[in-house]
Amino acid sequence: MAESLNFGVDPKLAALLGSSYNSTEKAIKELVDNAWDADAEEVLITLPDQMSSDPIVVSDDGAGMTVQELRNDYLKVARDRRTVKGDRTKTKNRKVRGRKGIGKFAGLMVAERMRLITKARGVQAELLFERESMAQAKSDFERVQIPLNELECAPDEHGTTIVLNDLNRKLTHPSPEKLRGILLLDYGRTPDFKILVNGLETTLKDIPGELFENTETLPEVGEVALSFTISEEKLKAGESGIVIKIDGKAYWGTLLLRSRRSRGRSERAFETRLWGD
């Protein structure tokens, strides 16, 4: 069945279309945040090769959305879900990460066309967003027609896929290594959220620095695996730390090592950050 949906009007959409990200990787990270908020356990990201016209694809196995949820929630631009559904996700009780109602359209900052395919409760719904038609509407967004197609799918299928076509050539071509590094800062220590970029899972090896790995057997404890990266690159608060996992459950805190180096009569403090499991 084919029909059209419309935006819930909000002046913040005009500001969104007039803004931009300084990197494609940061825009993709916004889409991963939405997968987290949908209680996904796995996100698959496919980046095109250099000089390729292939799209960027971000697919997750989260809850997906019904047509009613698309109409009443997704297209209500700039409405913060925290004010309606709270700041925790429904199933996994995660802290909501998505930007306040506009991060879901981050794909339009790096591509001319964004196709959303979502499955929930036996229905697959597809929406197509075109940046040019939205930009031409200026502030009259309620008249923009968003094509919607509905198909049947298996009742147990769920999740959302975002396909970004006609990438912004003003931005640097997306780098798998850079993207994994950005995603690892927020999600590298999350036990139930796996992210794969071009088939490779984000790991500690994506953090710049020196990687150490070791396995020991401790009395009355058993086998203990240790892996961490030492980096002198300055990170934001909360980005450094050590994760301790017991029977798959993660417990973590931050370990910050400080040292001092002398330069003539002056001393300069520097910070060494540890990342690890």
Global pTM? 0.77
> Radius of gyration of the chain from Cα atoms?
21
Which amino acid, 211?
Answer: L
Q: Find the helix or strand (DSSP H, E) in which 51 lies.
A: none
Neighbours of 13 (CB within 10 A): 21
pLDDT in single tens digits along all 277 residues of the chain: 667 776 664 545 555 555 556 789 989 999 999 999 999 999 999 999 988 899 999 999 999 999 999 988 888 765 566 566 778 998 999 988 876 566 777 888 889 999 999 999 999 999 999 988 877 776 666 777 889 999 999 999 999 999 999 998 888 899 999 999 889 878 877 778 999 999 999 877 777 678 788 888 988 878 887 777 777 666 665 556 666 666 545 554 444 444 444 444 433 333 444 455 5
* Beta bridge partner(s), residue 152: 123
Instruction: Quote the CA–CA distance of 146 and 149 in Å, as a whole number.
Output: 10
Task: Report yes or no: 197 and 43 within 8 Å, Cβ to Cβ.
Answer: no
- In this predicted model, what pLDDT tens digit does every residue of 21-70 receive, in sequence order? 678 998 999 999 999 999 999 999 999 998 889 999 999 999 999 999 99
In the chain, where the domains are located: 2-197, 207-276
Q: What is the CATH number of domain 2-197?
A: 3.30.565.10
